């Protein structure tokens, strides 16, 4: 009898162990397989690739569209025949970007000058200037980063307020502003550009990584609310991309294997739109994400904090030598 009970316990423990491993692998490997399919499918099944205009509509709005990922993403959308509303705070650069897009692609552009550190005021201005133009693809890309990795008390109050406002409040309000129209048309897409720092708290960029964790939670919840209306909510969490946000580190920018150019990143990221709800957006980043998620949370926090602290140390040494030029980390 005792032996039978032991066998039964062993059986149930084995079943529980199998289910735990299965759920863990499904959670962590499925996004990688989805990303691989999204990248490879157009090469092997060309007819599978549906026009973004046909699937979502003819107009996209991209915030932070004059630099980095936002600019490259705008070009990729235009390449696919999507008209672009470019939103950023610098009018001259907006005009230059719009002219460049229209000279290369047969699409229309519209520019809107808006400073998202103003939060609701900026969003209301965008809504007013959009008027009745239907926005079919909204790309919440604008974001702000620390000038360099720092202890919380070293970060200026205004920088903290701006990071929270730009990275979370503006994206939330912009999503709300255009979701209603998408719901009525029963189609549309919201792309929230986050960061791989969302996967765990990251010391020395504490506020920034916390805002990205918020965006992940926000994207997943809004997707649940609106997917039944035909609206796609995609969450992008890239690892390092060579943009102004990373100018504090020459080490990062020299790593061309894992640090994608904005153009490389946007090409793959746009290919996943409508195919993946949550992804890093770039196949090498998907491998990095898979590896990161396999580690326990405590280990991730420790390694992340240690790595960023080293970047901070290098930056401060360069600052002492006068080899640093201050750049506003806004895109």
DSSP, collapsed to helix, strand or coil, labels residue 86 as strand
The residues near 252 (Cβ < 8 Å, ≥ 6 apart) are 240, 242, 246, 259, 311
Q: Between helices 170-185 and 120-130, what is the axis angle to 10°? A: 30
Closest by CA position to 137, among listed 54, 197, 217, 194: 54
With the C-alpha atoms ordered 86, 92, 98, 100, is the resulting torsion angle positive or negative? Answer: negative
Catalytic residue among 73, 148, 208, 268: 208
Could you tell me how far CA 75 lies from the centroid of its own chain?
Answer: 17
> Within a 10 A sphere around the Cβ of 50, how many other Cβ atoms?
11
β-strand 83-88 against 137-140: which pairing, if any? Answer: unpaired
Q: Where are the beta strands (DSSP E) in the chain?
A: 59-63, 83-88, 109-113, 137-140, 188-193, 231-236, 278-279
208 part of the active site: yes
- DSSP letters for 152-177: GGGS-HHHHHHHHIIIIIHHHHHHHH
Q: What share of the chain is helix, strand, coil (3-state, %, to 5)?
A: 60, 10, 25
Active site members: 208
């Amino acid at each position: 009898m005792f032996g039978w009970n032991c066998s039964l316990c062993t059986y149930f423990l084995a079943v529980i162990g199998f289910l735990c491993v299965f759920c863990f692998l499904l959670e962590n490997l499925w996004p990688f397989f989805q990303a691989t399919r999204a990248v490879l499918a157009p090469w092997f099944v060309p007819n599978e690739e549906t026009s973004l205009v046909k699937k979502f509509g003819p107009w996209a709005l991209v915030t932070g569209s004059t630099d980095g990922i936002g600019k490259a993403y705008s070009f990729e959308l235009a390449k696919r025949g999507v008209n672009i509303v470019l939103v950023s705070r610098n009018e001259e650069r907006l005009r230059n970007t719009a002219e460049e897009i229209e000279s290369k692609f047969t699409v229309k552009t519209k520019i809107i000058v808006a400073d998202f550190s103003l939060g609701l005021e900026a969003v209301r201005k965008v809504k007013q200037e959009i008027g009745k133009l239907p926005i079919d693809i909204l790309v919440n890309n604008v974001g702000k980063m620390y000038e360099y990795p720092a202890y919380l008390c070293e970060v200026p109050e205004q920088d903290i307020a701006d990071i929270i406002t730009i990275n979370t409040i503006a994206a939330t309000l912009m999503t709300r502003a255009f979701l209603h129209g998408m719901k009525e048309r029963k189609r549309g897409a919201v792309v929230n550009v986050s960061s791989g720092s969302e996967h765990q708290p990251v010391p020395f960029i504490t506020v920034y990584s916390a805002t990205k964790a918020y965006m992940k939670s926000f994207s997943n919840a809004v997707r649940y609310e609106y997917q039944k209306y035909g609206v796609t909510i995609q969450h992008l969490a890239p690892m390092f991309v060579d943009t102004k946000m990373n100018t504090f580190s020459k080490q990062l920018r020299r790593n061309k294997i894992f640090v994608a150019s904005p153009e490389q990143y946007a090409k793959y990221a746009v290919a996943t739109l409508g195919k993946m709800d949550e992804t890093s957006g770039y196949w090498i980043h998907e491998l990095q994400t898979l590896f990161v998620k396999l580690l326990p949370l405590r280990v991730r926090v420790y390694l992340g904090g240690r790595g960023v602290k080293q970047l901070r140390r290098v930056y401060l040494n360069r600052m002492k030598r006068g080899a640093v030029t201050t750049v506003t980390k806004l895109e």
